[in-house]
């Protein structure tokens, strides 16, 4: 399968990128531009998000190259892995805010404007399994479901058994050997 992921920590690509992908038969995994952070869910911010998502879905939905929409990069796994421990911002509140932004706000817009494509709240995600848990399961990076992100700086990567065998790896990386 030929697929490129437009990563949520980057930028929405220009129209020419999607036109090229359509022409060449390259599929696009399209993240929304939210990554590795907690975002506010106040009215002003959500109104701004609604405008952005409306614009991008309307702009890109006619491209056959777009395979899937994704709400964010790694915010689900970050909450479940305690990246942002805080005495004044509980995990429960983080989850509530996460679901308000990615499920209720972005998800409802995507499903309304482009019901023909799947929408995942996050990458990595367990896909349908995550949905069964209301949008927040315990291990969104499971190699048995959905997509995974694989980074393993501490394992002996000369051995094949060191690598996951996931259904879909949407992000991966390893340490390189020194130049000298």
**Is residue 165 in a domain?**
yes
What pLDDT score does 134 carry?
Answer: 86
What pLDDT score does 13 carry?
Answer: 97
Q: Is 129 helix (H, G, I), strand (E, B) or coil?
A: helix
Provide the 8-state DSSP code for 100: I
**Is residue 178 in a domain?**
no
> Looking at residue 48, which CATH number applies to its domain?
3.20.20.80
What pLDDT score does 149 carry?
Answer: 64
Q: Is 128 helix (H, G, I), strand (E, B) or coil?
A: helix
Distance CA 65, CA 20 (A): 9
Enclosing domain of residue 143: 3-173
Distance CA 63, CA 14 (A): 12
**Is residue 16 in a domain?**
yes
- Token pair, residue 119, equals 């929408």
Q: Is 119 helix (H, G, I), strand (E, B) or coil?
A: strand
Number of domains in the chain: 1
What pLDDT score does 130 carry?
Answer: 84
Catalytic residues: 74
Q: Mean pLDDT, consecutive 10-residue segments, the chain of 180 residues?
A: 89 98 97 96 99 99 98 92 89 96 98 98 85 83 70 64 66 67
Question: How much is the pTM?
Answer: 0.86
């Amino acid at each position: 399968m030929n697929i490129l992921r437009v990563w949520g920590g980057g930028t929405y690509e220009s129209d020419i990128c999607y036109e090229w992908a359509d022409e060449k038969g390259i599929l696009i995994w399209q993240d929304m531009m939210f990554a590795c952070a907690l975002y506010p869910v106040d009215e002003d911010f959500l109104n701004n998000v609604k405008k952005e998502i409306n614009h991008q879905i309307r702009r890109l939905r006619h491209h056959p190259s777009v395979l899937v929409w994704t709400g964010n990069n790694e915010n689900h796994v970050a909450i479940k892995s305690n990246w942002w421990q805080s005495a004044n911002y509980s995990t429960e509140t983080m989850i509530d805010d996460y679901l308000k932004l990615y499920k209720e706000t972005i998800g409802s817009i995507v499903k309304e404007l482009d019901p023909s494509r799947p929408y995942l709240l996050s990458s990595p995600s367990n896909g349908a399994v995550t949905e069964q848990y209301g949008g927040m399961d315990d291990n969104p990076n499971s190699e048995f479901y959905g997509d995974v992100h694989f980074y393993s700086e501490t394992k002996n990567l000369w051995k094949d058994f060191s690598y996951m065998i996931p259904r879909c790896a949407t992000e991966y990386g390893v340490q390189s050997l020194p130049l000298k």
